[in-house]
Structure 1
Amino acid sequence: MSSPTSHVSPTPELSTPPRATDPLSTGIKSLLDPTVKQTTEKLLQVHQSQQALSQELDRLINQLQHYLDTTDPPSLRPTVIKLASTSKRLAAVNNTLQAIQIRVNKLYVQLSKQRLPH
């Protein structure tokens, strides 16, 4: 019970392909050919560069993995603790300097008012 597919219409052709001897198509082709060729070459270069980068990353990962497997990495915890302590002390010094600056500005304003004749 299959029905014939004759009710499906063929896709209409939107335009006829340009003839090889058509001066307009030849001109457009000659205009675009260098750009297409250059773009293709650049894409190939990018692809090759990406492959080289991927290989270099694999090599680096292997070296780092070998380093981690064969050595005992240094402990960074004491250094991080020192840096955190130094950061806290620096913040305290900055707060003190800011308070001093505010006091100096207030003194400057008061001295400026006293110097002005009333």
Structure 2
Amino acid sequence: MRLAILLLAAFYSAAALAQTPAPGAAAAPRVAAKPKAAPAKPQSIAAKLQACLEIDDATKERLNCYDAIFSPRPKPKAPAAKGVTDCRFIKEEDERLTCFNGFAEKIPKLPS
């Protein structure tokens, strides 16, 4: 009978010790996990051009917006622009802005 009581006491104490946290874990403060922000989805060139259309027309800011997408590489005699990327070769800023506007306005509106 004494043996049964000793075994029973040993099992209960072992179970109680297993439920307490480790000394190192209790001393360390808990840090809340920060949710990771979803990486920014890169915009397409069409979306970037449409964003430039929201800036006031015929302004240096709109031209700077276009130039940030396609860096200007003026040529003395630029060929006729067949695509939006060809607008970067036009030397005169007003003509380059008109070229970019013409192509950007033809792009169908993308879903938001």
| TM-score tier after normalising by the smaller chain length | under 0.3
User: Whose helix proportion is higher, 1 or 2?
Assistant: 1
How does the TM-score come out when normalised to structure 2? 0.24
Greater radius of gyration (CA): 1
